[in-house]
Structure 1
Amino acid sequence: MRKLIKNEQGLTLVEILATLVLLGIVFVGIMSVFSQMTLFNDKTYTKLDTMNLARQEMSEIKSVAYPKLITDITTNIAATTYDDFSVAADPYYLFAKNEDGYTYEMRLYKIPKLVGDANIASLYQVHLQVKKGTQLNSETYGYIESK
């Protein structure tokens, strides 16, 4: 009978409480990772959305501008696509517009980046930035052909 009393196979209240505390610490650590993942996913979604907006805007700019002289390109972009047009300091023209809560800023460089003999007079670099408020969300580069 004494062997049975000394050989108890149970857990004490202290052991159970210690286990619960350790599980609580691990659970809190895991839950903080989930909240960070949600924040990261939101930022990724916003970045992808603005990248697609930038690509779409770049294709619209090229369709409006192609193929003309640089003076016609600037006039055409200002007249059809962008609301606000200002001549910035050299080496670029600055166009801007606000649409659907985003600000599009386009810099069209005045000096051609590439000049060649392949039936293209020159290629002008376009730098497009998409902003939400003052925060830059996406940017892309492209070229407009001038003949």
Structure 2
Amino acid sequence: MKLLKNEKGITLVELLVSIVILSMILITTMSFFPQMGLLNNQNKVKTQGINTAKEILLKWQNDSRLETFFTTPNGGIIPEYTGIIGNDYNFETVDSNYFVNIKIKISPSMTSGIYNAHLIVIKLYKNDKRDILISKTYGYVKVRR
């Protein structure tokens, strides 16, 4: 009779209940890790796209061929890009990672005594798919009058 009254251990039911509760907590916690990995990957792609767009903007702002281009826009001065002339100047190219669309406003957005500043919009799309916009950057290119 003394053995039946000894309650120092745990029962099988208590053990199973604790395992089930612990499993539920672990499963809930583990579901966050793939979501965090996916979010980190998306942020990485966005950051790389923003940096690439800013690099392209700097290249266009410092390109000496732009002055010649604005005086003779049909001259094909910028061979790396396919030009599309319409209301604004549109240029397109396929980078190794992105489809790049560049639009320069024909009429100057700002003028001074020496320079005209034209609005430039750079859009990066994912792998030649124009429906997935990665980054969009605005800036100005200045051209001597």
Q: What's the TM-score, normalizing by structure 1?
A: 0.83
Q: Of the candidates 100, 106, 112, which is equivalent to residue 116 of structure 1? A: 112
Mapped partners of 2:97, 2:72: distance in 1: 26
- Pairwise CA RMSD of aligned residues? 2.3
Q: Whose helix proportion is higher, 1 or 2? A: 1
Paired residue for 1:87? 85
Mapped partners of 1:72, 1:36: distance in 2: 52
Mapped partners of 1:39, 1:22: distance in 2: 28
Mapped partners of 2:17, 2:53: distance in 1: 55
Q: How many residues align?
A: 141
Deviations 1:24-66 (A, max 9, x none): 1111111110010100111111111111111111111112257
Task: Give the C-alpha shift of residue 6 in structure 1.
Answer: 2.4
Paired residue for 1:6? 5
Aligned positions of 1:1-147 closer than 5 A: 2=2, 5-65=4-64, 68=67, 71-72=70-71, 74=73, 78-80=76-78, 82-88=80-86, 90=87, 92-117=88-113, 120-132=114-126, 133-134=129-130, 135-147=132-144
Runs of 5+ in structure 1 lacking a partner? none
The answer to whether the Cα contact below 8 Å between 2:65 and 2:78 also exists between their aligned partners in 1 is no
Shift of the 103–127 alpha-carbon distance from structure 1 to 2, 3 Å rule, reads: same
Shift of the 121–53 alpha-carbon distance from structure 1 to 2, 3 Å rule, reads: same
Shift of the 45–59 alpha-carbon distance from structure 1 to 2, 3 Å rule, reads: same
Shift of the 143–74 alpha-carbon distance from structure 1 to 2, 3 Å rule, reads: farther
Q: What's the TM-score, normalizing by structure 2?
A: 0.84
The answer to whether the Cα contact below 8 Å between 1:123 and 1:143 also exists between their aligned partners in 2 is yes
